[in-house]
Amino acid sequence: MKQRKAVRILLTASAILAALLLLIAGGFVVWANGAYQPSPVAQDAMKGNDSVMVTEKEGVIFFEPRPISGPDRLDAGFVFYPGGKVEAEAYAPLLSAIAAKGHPVAMCRMPLNLAVFGTGAAKSVFQDYPDTRWVLGGHSLGGSMAAYYAYEHPSESAGLILLGSYPAEGNDFSQKDMPILSIFGSNDMGIEDILKYKPLLPPSTIWLELKGGNHAQFGDYGPQKGDGGASLSREAQQAKTVEAITAFLDGLAVN
């Protein structure tokens, strides 16, 4: 009798624990899916235009300059990881503008909109399009996860681009020979950490501080909780970012 009672107690406890774990997991999924949504401007940019064709294949959104091939097509491209809890489409205006300059861009969708669950998403792009010199990068959490992948697979990426982001403590690039561009707003909510982890990047890193810019304006999804207010417009912040990224990619491209 005592043994049967103990078994019943154990089974009851296991059922309660399983239910709690399901509730926790369900709550996490709900939290993760409560992502920042793309603005109408971003949704419109997803349609493409006379200069850029937008397509999607197996979780990767491609922004390709028109014509798709030809003398103006440059061989350096950008693989982009979105920020945490931000719908990928929110970055369409920024990435479309880069593609319009002649550089293909591949944006990877992330599971639950969190790049920590998709650090290796760039691998399929590198493998499927080996003739392009791909630079890996991203915004916020996406940038940190891009840095993690670039650190672990240095031969796969021609460089690294960080937007309002920085590498994790274990990813020390300071002695690595990798071209890196870091862009951040002076009013970015994470500016203290961006500067704190600056020693993890090599002396050759190109730094661009956007005066009056903030964290959220690299995308088009509205204000972000905890972010600093911006005195620089979103359009100006993105235009300066496009200019810097284009120059960086131009330096790696060979027509």
Q: Report pLDDT digits (tens) over 18-70.
A: 433 333 333 333 334 579 999 999 999 999 999 999 999 999 999 999 876 65
Residues 60 and 155 in one domain: yes
How many domains does the chain contain in total? Answer: 2
| Residue 156: domain span | 38-252
In this prediction, residue 46 carries a pLDDT of: 98
Q: Report pLDDT digits (tens) over 131-188.
A: 999 999 999 999 999 999 999 999 999 999 999 999 999 999 999 999 999 999 999 9
Residues 61 and 27 in one domain: no
Residues 129 and 232 in one domain: yes
Residues 120 and 246 in one domain: yes
| Residue 17 clears pLDDT 50, i.e. is over it | no
Residues 81 and 117 in one domain: yes
The CATH number of whichever domain residue 200 belongs to comes to 3.40.50.1820
| Residue 199 clears pLDDT 50, i.e. is over it | yes
Residues 144 and 158 in one domain: yes
Residues 76 and 107 in one domain: yes
Lowest mean pLDDT segment, chosen from 14-18, 164-168, 208-212: 14-18
Long-range CB contacts for residues 25-31, cutoff 8 Å, separation at least 24: 29/112
Global confidence as pTM: 0.86
DSSP assignment of 2-41 equals: HHHHHHHHHHHHHHHHHHHHHHHHHHHHHHHH-PBPPPHH
